[in-house]
Amino acid sequence: MPSPITVTPGDGVVRLAWTGEVSTDELRREIAEAMTEQPRVEALVDADDATAQRAATWAGLHREGVRRGVGPDGEPRDQIVFARLVTDEPVHEPGGFRSLLNSFLPRKRAISQMLVRDPDGRVLLCRLTYKRDWDLPGGVVEVGESPQVAVQREVEEELGLTIEPRGLLLTDWLPPWGGWDDAVCLVFDGGTLPTAALADVVMQEREIRDVRFCTLEEVDELAADFTARRVRAAVGGHEPYTESGR
């Protein structure tokens, strides 16, 4: 009986393809044989084909990303890119298995922001260049970066201020919105600065148009509704966890 797996050699890569259910053991054998010929083996699996994705994963292929495309009917047809390199640690080794799991388990974007107030209790807000709404200083946490380190870095980059975070005030989950995936926003306590500290601000022109201390009423007026709710929750300090500020 012929194998349901199609093997296509290329320059430095062997591509595998199959339809319907396939034996994981058979797929593993094809991968092992292919890697004696080329340093990389890969498979493109339809994004809605959970069975084929499962087979690729348990055969030891790492999920690398999504290849967006259009099918013959003109409809979107995304494919998951699975691959394995000859240098990858064997799956039966602890490091190899963890690496495999790491390639397909969910990842969530993290955003770190800082709540800085003046002696009158007003909140430091930034007017951003890439959107109309004002927001707390901060930004996206880089891969492998501590959220606490990230918020201090972002404040230094955006405003030229060196402020060491004092602790976590709020964890706010942000649902998918406007083309963004969901994210977790961590709001750290930046303490109190004198109003005159605004004179020391050096704004990053690429991202920041203006910066000022605002009352909570001004935050409601200048910021997006979910940002205003988050600020009020962080200032209040009664809820350690919110969803979109609620």
Domains and CATH numbers, the chain: 5-104 (3.40.630.30), 109-243 (3.90.79.10)
Band the pLDDT of 100: cuts 50, 70, 90: very high
**Average predicted confidence (pLDDT) for the chain:** 93
Cα–Cα distance measured from residue 36 to residue 224, given in angstroms and rounded to the nearest whole number: 56
* pLDDT surpassing 70 at residue 113: yes
Cα–Cα distance measured from residue 108 to residue 153, given in angstroms and rounded to the nearest whole number: 20
- Specify the DSSP class assigned to residue 90: P
What value does the mean pLDDT take over residues 29-40?
Answer: 94
Highest mean pLDDT among 33-37, 72-76, 145-149, 234-238: 145-149
Band the pLDDT of 103: cuts 50, 70, 90: very high
Per the CB < 8 A criterion, the answer to whether 215 and 232 are in contact is no
Q: Quick count: other Cβ atoms within 10 Å of Cβ 151?
A: 28
Band the pLDDT of 1: cuts 50, 70, 90: low
What value does the mean pLDDT take over residues 236-246?
Answer: 93
Q: What is the pLDDT of residues 115-151, one digit of tens each?
A: 999 999 999 999 999 888 999 999 999 999 999 999 9
pTM of the model: 0.85
